[in-house]
Structures are given as C-alpha cells and as structure tokens.
C-alpha cells in the first residue's frame, strides 16, 4: 500500500495536470544545495544593480523561511514556444522582444492556475498551508525544478528539458503537506557536454559555463538595468528591445533533431507581436506604455527604460536609409528628449549620444 505522502504527491500532480501544466514535479523543502555557488556569484558582483538578490539571500537559500512549516514544494512548467523556432530577420526600425513577452503575461497565466490547485488542496486537507510563486518570491525555482526532474540547468543557466528544450517558464508552490516524489521522478543528467554554442553566441560575452554576468546580459540591460546603457554594450544589443533569446536560439536542444517529442504550447502564449516601432516608442507617454504592455510580462519595464532602450538601438542602427519623414521625426524626437529637463537622466544621456552620432550636437 502506498504511503499517504506518496498519495498526496499523486493528488497534487494530478491537480497540476488538470490545470494544463506541461511538466510538474515534487521535492522536499530544505536549504539550497547551491548556496556557496550563489554567494560566490554575488561576491563577484554578477548581480549588477539587482541588490534585492543579496538583500533577501537567506530567504532565497532557505525556502522554508517563506512558509513556516513547509515540507514540500511542487514545481510546474509551461512551454511558451515550441522547438524549433523559425529564424527571424531583423526589421529596420523595429525593436524585437523576447518570445516569453509575446503572449499573455506568464505570471498571471501560471499563478491563476496555481492558486486553483492550492485552493483545492486546502479544501481537501483542512489545516494545510500553501504559498504559490512564479518569479514573485525569493526562491531558486530552477534549482527546485532540476531537483524535481523537470530538466537540467544548462551552461546558459536556463532549465532544459531533454525532449522539449528550454522555451519554458517555471512556477510552483510550497506546502505544509508532506509529499513523497514519485518513484519514476529522477533528476535529469546534464546533457550539455562539450557544447559552448550559447557561450560563443552571446553578443555581449555575458555567459561563462553555468554562470551569467547580469551586468552584460541583454535581458538584464533592457529589463532590470535602470542606468544608461554603456556604449560598448549598447553596440551589441542588435535589435533586442526587451529581453533576448540568442542563447536559446542557438541551443541544440531547441533544434529540430530526430526523436524529440511534440511540445504543447498554451493558447495564452500565442504571440501577439514580435516587436515595436522604435520611432513610435520615443513618442510614448505613460498611458500609452501601459496600454501597449497591459497584458504582457513587459508591463514591469518602465517608460524611462523603454525610451532608453529605443535610443540605444537607434544609436547603433543604420539610419542613413531612412526616408525624409522618418529622419525628421527622429531628429525632432532626439532634440526633445536630449534637452528636456523633465526627462530622466538615462533618457537624456542616451538621446545626446545619439544626437552626437547623427551630427546633431
């Protein structure tokens, strides 16, 4: 006869499957096994301006602190894109957004369903406590996901599933219920081998094996970073306006190799757009930004950041092919942003650099 803990795990995983999660696993709650590694990463300053990572370090390395009495964690994954992804040709004047931003906000899509799972468990087991998370709590989601057998952490530090690749978002919940992982659940071996494609392809050289220097990462620079983007890094942004997919685009585990399983992608993540017209972005106000990003994970990227990002891309884009109307619009927008004392410093600085490149001052 199976133990109560095993039955509880089956029940929780069944509820997750009923909510349409592509993957789910169970792990016991305990201190992080990678605490020393994470501390060394912080000591090296690779977290850049993300000071909260250090401020909440003890919580991050000890999940039980987030829910007193927590004994188990259930980890889930949604795939937001299938593999292989078609190659994308840059569009002049358009800033591209990472694929996870192209559909509905995954935070909402994942957490709404997790809350339903947690509600069902508490109703069935009075006295049980739960806490759901999806990038919303100081917790090492990828470490827990790897321990739960959802994949391995690749050299680019993202989770990779052997049959489906890495186009996934993670979430889960802590619970005071004791659950025993299924016997078939096993940690996935590292299949990166000697491959260094993600490291070699990173435009800014942010990746070393199993570590990312956030201060050089395009996703960090366009989403988390609040200061002006340094010219030497801005020159490597390519057409990435919010986020970056380069390390995933080149990963062999995201290619169309034989023997792979089909990947189920929720309709919620159906792309609504690939990017934004950069000249249009320069004229946005706050209500416009909120409207454009309302249902997307991009809504946490501020107006200051998106204007700075657009200017940084334009600084290193070819503008000599612009027709007269666009060239005049760009010149007027730069002049407005560069010398308007009401604009944030990062926007003014980025605009002045662009003005100098175009010979405008």
Cβ neighbors of 359 (< 8 A, separation 6 or more) are none
**Residue 147 parent element (H or E):** helix 141-147
User: What is the average per-residue pLDDT within 81-95?
Assistant: 90
- pLDDT recorded at residue 117: 98
Burial of 162 (0-12, 13-18, 19+ CB in 10 A): middle
| pLDDT tens digit sequence for 170-187 | 999 999 999 999 988 999
Three-state SS at 51: coil
Q: Which residues are catalytic?
A: 135
- pLDDT recorded at residue 198: 98
| pLDDT tens digit sequence for 103-142 | 999 999 999 999 999 999 999 999 999 999 999 899 999 9
Percent of the chain exceeding pLDDT 90 equals 80
How sure is the predictor about 258, in pLDDT bands with cuts at 50, 70 and 90? very low
Q: Which two tokens stand for residue 279?
A: 């000249």
Contact in structure between 19 and 117 (CB atoms under 8 Å): yes
SS (H, E, C) 15-33: HHHHCCCCEEEEEECCCCC
Three-state SS at 288: helix
How sure is the predictor about 260, in pLDDT bands with cuts at 50, 70 and 90? low
- pLDDT recorded at residue 335: 84
- pLDDT recorded at residue 361: 45
Q: Dihedrals φ, ψ of 242, to 5°?
A: -140, 115
pLDDT of residue 261 exceeding 70, the answer is no
Percent of the chain exceeding pLDDT 70 equals 95
- pLDDT recorded at residue 319: 53
How far apart CA 301 and CA 289 sit, in angstroms, is: 9
How sure is the predictor about 356, in pLDDT bands with cuts at 50, 70 and 90? confident
User: What is the average per-residue pLDDT within 67-84?
Assistant: 96
**Residue 231 parent element (H or E):** helix 231-234
Contact in structure between 180 and 9 (CB atoms under 8 Å): yes
Whether a cis peptide bond, with omega within 30° of 0, leads into 171 is no
| pLDDT tens digit sequence for 140-177 | 999 999 999 999 999 999 999 999 999 999 999 999 99
Q: Which of 45-49, 73-77, 232-236, 354-358 has the lowest mean pLDDT?
A: 354-358
Three-state SS at 317: coil
- pLDDT recorded at residue 33: 94
DSSP class of residue 91 equals P
Contact in structure between 253 and 191 (CB atoms under 8 Å): yes
Give the residue carrying structure tokens 């942004």: 237
| pLDDT tens digit sequence for 294-327 | 999 999 999 999 999 999 999 887 554 555 567 7
Cα angle for residues 152, 134, 107 (degrees, 5° grid): 120
pLDDT of residue 360 exceeding 70, the answer is no
How far apart CA 79 and CA 243 sit, in angstroms, is: 17
| pLDDT tens digit sequence for 321-346 | 555 567 788 888 888 898 888 899 99
Q: Inter-axis angle of helices 303-316 and 286-293, to 10 degrees?
A: 90
The mean of the pLDDT values for the chain is 93
Contact in structure between 151 and 188 (CB atoms under 8 Å): yes
- pLDDT recorded at residue 171: 98
- pLDDT recorded at residue 27: 97
| pLDDT tens digit sequence for 228-248 | 999 999 999 999 999 999 999
- pLDDT recorded at residue 136: 86
């Amino acid at each position: 006869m199976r133990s109560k803990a095993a039955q509880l795990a089956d029940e929780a995983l069944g509820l997750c499957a009923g909510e349409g999660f592509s993957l789910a696993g169970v792990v016991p709650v305990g201190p992080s096994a990678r605490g020393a590694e994470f501390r060394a990463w912080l000591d090296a300053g690779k977290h850049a301006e993300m000071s909260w990572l250090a401020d909440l370090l003890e919580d991050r390395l000890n999940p039980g602190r987030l829910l007193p009495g927590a004994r188990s964690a259930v980890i889930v994954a949604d795939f937001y894109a299938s593999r292989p992804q078609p190659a994308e040709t840059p569009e002049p004047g358009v800033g591209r957004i990472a694929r996870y931003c192209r559909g509905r906000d995954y935070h909402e899509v994942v957490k709404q369903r997790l809350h339903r799972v947690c509600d069902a468990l508490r109703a069935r087991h009075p006295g049980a406590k739960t806490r759901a998370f999806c990038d919303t709590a100081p917790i090492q989601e990828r470490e827990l996901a790897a321990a739960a057998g959802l994949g391995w952490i690749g050299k680019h530090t993202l989770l990779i599933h052997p049959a489906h690749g890495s186009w996934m978002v993670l979430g889960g919940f802590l619970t005071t219920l004791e659950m025993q992982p299924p016997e078939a659940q096993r940690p996935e071996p590292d299949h990166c081998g000697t491959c260094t494609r993600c490291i070699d392809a990173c435009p800014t050289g942010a990746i070393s094996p199993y570590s990312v220097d956030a201060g050089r990462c395009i996703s960090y620079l366009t989403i988390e970073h609040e200061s002006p983007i340094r010219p030497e890094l801005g020159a490597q942004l390519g057409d990435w306006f919010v986020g970056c997919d380069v390390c995933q685009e080149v990963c062999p585990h995201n290619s169309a190799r034989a023997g792979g399983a089909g990947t189920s992608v929720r309709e919620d993540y159906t792309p609504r757009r690939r990017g934004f017209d950069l000249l249009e972005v320069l004229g946005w106000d706050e209500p416009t930004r909120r409207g454009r990003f309302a249902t997307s994970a991009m809504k946490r990227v501020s107006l200051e950041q998106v204007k700075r990002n657009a200017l940084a891309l334009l600084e290193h884009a070819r503008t000599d092919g612009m027709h007269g109307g666009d060239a005049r619009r760009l010149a007027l927008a730069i002049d407005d942003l560069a010398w308007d004392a009401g604009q944030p410093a990062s926007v003014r600085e980025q605009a002045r650099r662009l003005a100098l490149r175009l010979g405008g001052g």
